[in-house]
Amino acid sequence: MAEITLVAETGRTTGSRPSGRLRAQGKIPGVVYGHGSDPTSVSVVWRELRTALSGEAGMNALLSLVVDGETHLAIVKEVQRNPIQHTVSHVDFLLISRDEELSIDVPVVLVGEAVELAREDGIVEHLLFSLTVNAKPNAIPNEISIDISDLRLGDSVRVGDLHLPAGVTTDVDAEETVVGTSITRAGIEGEVEGEGEVEGEGGEAAEAADEASPES
């Protein structure tokens, strides 16, 4: 995974008002920490940050973070958003090394179309949207794909069924369900109606047998 260069400016004044002025200038306040270093208050240009996190790796992009002329390998550890406007209000950068294993959340994506499941009046239930994995920076996958094409009613995909890339592991319970299946309401109603028809046919046959009986 290639790194994306991002420049972080130091020397910003902390506090809500200075941070508000920064955001008005198109910059996002943040902090850089990790590897035993003291947290450093920084700011980054919002447009450049958005571009850095808009690639295939998304929030897990590896960054060549330039701070005071020095380049560091980093990732975005946390992004805070305004609860009303949902705009980015603060970003945390974590310094990392190429040889250390990270614990990071990776999106789980469904691919394919469950044709047979649809014919059975079933639907796919996507239950786990991200998986926490352990991997070195260059082994972090952009996503974990699950092919749902062969799913049938009653099938499920557990964490233990996932095929993780080389160098990637997870501590999540192997029995946790990632994808499940269930019958639609229309399918349930169809089954109930079918049972009712069978019972009705049985009742009519019994009545016909009673009429034909010598005792009647």
CATH of the domain at 177: 2.170.120.20
Residue 40, in any domain of the structure: yes
Last residue of a domain, one of 35, 69, 96: 96
* pTM score: 0.78
Average pLDDT on 98-108 reads 95
Q: Which helix (DSSP H) or strand (DSSP E) does residue 57 occupy?
A: none
Task: Specify the pLDDT at position 184.
Answer: 84
Residue 215, in any domain of the structure: no
Q: What pLDDT, in 10s, does the model give residues 138-183?
A: 999 999 999 999 999 999 999 999 999 999 999 999 999 999 999 9
CATH of the domain at 62: 2.40.240.10
For the beta carbon of residue 128, count every other beta carbon within 10 angstroms. 18
Q: Are residues 92 and 39 both part of a single domain?
A: yes
Residue 198, in any domain of the structure: no
Residue 109, in any domain of the structure: yes
Residue 43, in any domain of the structure: yes
Q: Which helix (DSSP H) or strand (DSSP E) does residue 46 occupy?
A: helix 46-52
Q: Are residues 90 and 127 both part of a single domain?
A: no
Q: Are residues 182 and 109 both part of a single domain?
A: yes
Task: Specify the pLDDT at position 216.
Answer: 44
Q: What pLDDT, in 10s, does the model give residues 18-34?
A: 999 999 999 999 999 99
Last residue of a domain, one of 58, 76, 96: 96
Q: Are residues 8 and 55 both part of a single domain?
A: yes
Q: Are residues 119 and 149 both part of a single domain?
A: yes
Task: Specify the pLDDT at position 85.
Answer: 84
Dist. CA 102–CA 96, nearest whole Å: 8
Average pLDDT on 179-203 reads 66
Q: Are residues 92 and 111 both part of a single domain?
A: no
Dist. CA 43–CA 20, nearest whole Å: 12
Q: Are residues 67 and 125 both part of a single domain?
A: no
Last residue of a domain, one of 64, 96, 128: 96
Residue 207, in any domain of the structure: no
Domain that residue 36 falls in: 4-96
Residue 206, in any domain of the structure: no
Q: What pLDDT, in 10s, does the model give residues 45-97?
A: 999 999 999 999 999 999 999 999 999 999 999 999 988 888 899 999 999 99
Dist. CA 120–CA 115, nearest whole Å: 9
Q: Are residues 111 and 82 both part of a single domain?
A: no
Which distant-in-sequence residues (6+ apart) come within 8 Å of 62 by Cβ? 1, 2, 3, 4, 73, 74, 75, 137, 138, 140
Q: Are residues 10 and 58 both part of a single domain?
A: yes
Dist. CA 216–CA 25, nearest whole Å: 96
Q: What is the amino acid identity at position 135?
A: A
Distance of CA 24 to the CA centre of its chain: 31
Per the structure, how many domains does the chain have? Answer: 2
